[in-house]
Amino acid sequence: MMQFMLLFSRQGKLRLQKWYVAHPDKLKKKITRELITTVLARKPKMCSFLEWKDVKVVYKRYASLYFCCAMEQEDNELLTLELIHRYVELLDKYFGSVCELDIIFNFEKAYFILDELVLGGELQETSKKNVLKAIAAQDLLQEVSSQDNELV
């Protein structure tokens, strides 16, 4: 099971955080800070896995953005890389060649997509098409329900 997922930039700025375990805010911040520093300190040629405290951190860099998942010991690390890649593909399809700015300005959309892919730390849908269909349908529902209230 995934314990949490973090997206952060090369400068160490947090772009997205999704927690599937209950921690107090203070601890979350501490973990985030420490993990970002540790991952950023690793050289590009090193492997994508990091045994960190009691979790196994799997991370991958896409352009300027690091995608970083904390998994439990018995999870398949290579599969986690595929999961990260799947999420990136979905973001890419949704935004159309996604870049860091898309995720900054539409962070809520990035969360919505993640929530259609992963639930409670486990993968819920293996078809890209189904995820995008669900997101599109909800976006439509949102427009219908709130024409007078554009969110952003």
Site string for another protein, 8-37 (x = CB under 8 A): ------xxxxxxx-xxxx---x--------
Q: Please say whether the beta carbons of 91 and 62 come within 8 A.
A: no
Q: Smallest gap, in angstroms, from Cβ of residue 92 to another protein?
A: 15
Residue of 40, 88, 99, 134 that binds another protein (CB under 8 A): 134
Sequence-ordered strand ranges (E) for the chain: 2-9, 14-19, 49-52, 55-62, 65-71, 118-119, 122-123
For residue 45, state whether it binds another protein (rule: CB under 8 A): yes
Q: DSSP letter at 54?
A: T
Residue of 11, 51, 54, 96 that binds another protein (CB under 8 A): 51
HSE at residue 47, side-chain half, CA atoms within 13 A, is 7
Farthest CA pair distance, the chain: 51
Stretch that binds another protein, among 63-71, 90-98, 132-140 (CB under 8 A): 132-140
Q: Smallest gap, in angstroms, from Cβ of residue 97 to another protein?
A: 20
CA distances to 31, 45, 120 from 108, in Å: 22, 32, 18
Distance CA 117, CA 119 (A): 7
Site string for another protein, 79-108 (x = CB under 8 A): x-xxx--x-----------------xx-xx
Distance CA 27, CA 52 (A): 15
Binding-site ranges for another protein (CB under 8 A):
1, 14-20, 22-25, 29, 42-43, 45-51, 74, 76-79, 81-83, 86, 104-105, 107-108, 111-112, 115, 119-130, 134, 137-138, 141-142, 144-146, 149, 151-152
